[in-house]
């Protein structure tokens, strides 16, 4: 009799403990995602509102909402200014209870947010910024660099161009962290393949007129003019290079970083024949087509997703998977990121992959060529696949990055 009472008592205590435990976890099933991007400037179309939508779609596709989680996404505009980006990040982390910042194109801003995120022990899933320092000397236990980086671009596009005979280069470089990193990484590739770099000109971010810089590139007599810039800067340089007869004069352009919205803005007439590297294209396979169709239907201007948008979707989805294994939000960025690194990644857009200890997400990269107008079958049919670079070749080996986390 007495033993039965004790058993019942123990059961009751256990039950109470369980209830309290689950109630505590339930309180914590709230996640807030901040899309810190360029919402209005030259990178707004490749990230911006599209990245907010991508994050929203990942939340919906994670299935966590049906399980009682409360997950929302807010957006902020860093205006391509590191100080503005840092202030928003601090405000979000300290006041607005943001757990994770996503997207953040512009390497200057990304490096600053990387630092703040580490201080506050939150998480930073970068899709939009290119600098390979994010998984190199600036790597952090709180950051995952998802979609692409300058090392990958340099090796993908740079190597292909040098090997096809473009052995002398002149750079048109955007004068900030990203441009410098891309120029540095590409120079290494060119030199490693016995090519030469005859010079470089650094132009301010967001330049409308490239004619002066193009004239300098022209007089350098280099075979290849490497465009170490992005967004509106790249489209303006390409457009004006064709106007100044640069390509007609025998020099070739290497657009080291080109996004789908850029090709759309240029039009195939001007963009045709450009070779470049990306890690995502909407028309790769059935899964990417299905996602892109859903995305495009919800976008205001019906655009297809850029690789940055795809990266935001994939990163948020994996983040939420890691979050789910804890049964609630542990409120510890480094812990969630460590979990993300433990778990293999698998999603419709990038396929199977992994995240390395230095925070580098690994997946294949693709060398594309822009189609001729006659080859394009309809809206957004822009790319021809030239080569696939496997995941283990696409990104910089850990040992070469100088990341303090893996030493």
Partner 1 sequence: MQALYGQLVVGLINGSFYALLSLGLAVIFGMLNIINFAHGAFYMMGAFAAYFLLNWAGLGYWWALVLAPLMVGAVGVLVERTMLQWLTGLDHLYGLLLTFGLALVIQGVFQNEFGSSGLPYAIPAELRGAQNLGFMFLPNYRAWVIVFSLVVCLATWFVIERTKLGAYLRAATERPELVRAFGIDVPRMITLTYGFGVALAALAGVLAAPINQVRPLMGADFIIVVFAVVVIGGMGSIMGSIVTGFALGLIEGLTKYFYPEASSTVVFVIMAIVLLVKPNGLFGRTA
**Residues interacting with partner 1, by CB under 8 A?**
40-46, 48, 175, 201-204, 206-209, 211-213, 215-216, 218-219, 231-232, 235-236, 239-240, 243-245, 249, 261-262, 264-267, 269-270, 300-301, 303
Q: Which is nearer to partner 1, 232 or 333 (CB)?
A: 232
**Closest to partner 1 by CB, 261 or 359:** 261
Output the smallest distance, CB 207 to partner 1, in A.
7
**Sequence-distant (≥ 6) Cβ neighbours of residue 7 within 8 angstroms:** none
Three-class SS string for 312-334? HHHHHHHHHHHHHHCCCCCCCHH
Straight-line distance from the first to the last Cα atom of the chain, in angstroms, rounded to the nearest whole number? 63
- DSSP E strand boundaries for 68-193: 70-77, 100-103, 123-126, 143-145, 168-174
**Residues linked to residue 353 through DSSP beta bridges, in sequence order:** 345
Closest approach of Cβ 260 to partner 1, in Å?
Answer: 10
Alpha-carbon gap, residue 178 to 175, rounded angstroms = 8
| Mode of pairing for the β-strands spanning 345-347 and 351-355 | antiparallel
- Minimum CB separation of residue 39 from partner 1 in Å reads 9
If you ran DSSP here, which 8-state letter would residue 262 be given?
H
Element (H, E) at 21: helix 2-27
Spatial separation of the C-alpha atoms in residues 367 and 312, rounded to whole Å: 21
The least distance separating partner 1 from the CB of residue 308, rounded to whole angstroms, comes to 13
Nearest to partner 1 of 252, 264 (CB atom): 264
Quick check: 40 and 105 in contact, CB under 8 A? no
Cα dihedral sign for 167, 168, 170, 176?
positive
Our CB check for partner 1 shows the closer of 136 and 231 to be 231
Minimum CB distance to partner 1, residue 380 (Å) = 14
Q: Which is nearer to partner 1, 16 or 212 (CB)?
A: 212
Nearer to partner 1, 3 or 269 (CB): 269
**What is the smallest separation between the CB atom of 224 and partner 1, expressed in angstroms?**
18
Residue 347 burial class via C-beta count within 10 angstroms: exposed 0-12, middle 13-18, buried 19 and up: buried
Q: Closer to partner 1 by CB, 45 or 133: give it.
A: 45
Give whichever of 5 and 269 is closer to partner 1, judged by the CB atom: 269
Least separation, in Å, of the C-beta of 306 and partner 1?
A: 10
Nearest distance from residue 175's CB to partner 1, in Å?
6
Q: How far apart are CA 69 and CA 316, in angstroms?
A: 15
* Cβ neighbours of residue 167 closer than 8 Å, sequence gap 6 or more: 190, 193, 194, 195, 196, 223
């Amino acid at each position: 009799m007495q033993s039965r009472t004790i058993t019942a008592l123990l059961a009751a205590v256990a039950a109470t403990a369980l209830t309290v435990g689950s109630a505590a976890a339930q309180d914590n099933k709230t996640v807030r995602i901040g899309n810190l991007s360029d919402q209005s400037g030259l990178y707004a179309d490749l990230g911006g509102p599209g990245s907010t939508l991508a994050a929203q779609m990942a939340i919906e596709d994670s299935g966590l909402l049906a399980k009682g989680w409360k997950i929302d996404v807010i957006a902020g505009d860093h205006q391509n200014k590191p100080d503005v980006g840092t202030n928003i990040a601090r405000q979000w982390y300290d006041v607005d209870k943001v757990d994770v910042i996503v997207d953040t194109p512009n390497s200057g801003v990304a490096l600053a947010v990387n630092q703040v995120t580490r201080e506050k022990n939150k998480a930073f899933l970068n899709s939009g910024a290119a600098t390979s320092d994010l998984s190199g000397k600036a790597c952090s236990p709180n950051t995952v660099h998802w979609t692409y980086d300058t090392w990958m671009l340099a090796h993908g596009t740079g190597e292909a161009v040098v090997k096809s005979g473009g052995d002398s280069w002149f750079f048109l470089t955007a004068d900030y962290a990203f441009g410098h990193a891309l120029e540095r990484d590409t120079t290494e590739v060119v030199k490693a393949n016995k090519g030469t770099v005859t010079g470089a000109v650094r132009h301010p971010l967001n330049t409308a007129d490239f004619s002066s810089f193009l004239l300098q590139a022209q007089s350098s007599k280099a075979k290849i003019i490497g465009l170490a810039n992005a967004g509106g800067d790249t489209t303006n340089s390409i457009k004006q290079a064709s106007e100044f007869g640069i390509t007609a004069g025998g020099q070739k352009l290497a657009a080291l970083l080109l996004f789908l919205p850029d090709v759309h803005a240029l039009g195939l007439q001007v963009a045709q024949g450009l070779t470049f590297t990306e890690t995502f294209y909407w028309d790769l396979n059935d899964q990417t087509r299905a996602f892109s169709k859903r995305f495009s239907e919800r976008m205001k201007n019906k655009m297809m997703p850029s690789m940055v948008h795809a990266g935001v979707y994939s990163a948020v989805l994996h983040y939420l998977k890691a979050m789910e294994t804890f049964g609630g939000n542990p409120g510890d960025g480094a812990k969630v990121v460590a979990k993300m690194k433990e778990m293999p990644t698998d999603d419709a857009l990038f396929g199977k992959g992994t995240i390395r200890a230095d925070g580098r997400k690994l997946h294949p990269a693709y060398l594309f060529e822009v189609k001729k107008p006659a080859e394009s079958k309809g809206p957004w049919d822009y790319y021809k696949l030239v080569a696939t670079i496997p995941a283990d070749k696409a990104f910089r080996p850990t040992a070469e990055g100088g990341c303090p986390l893996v030493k």
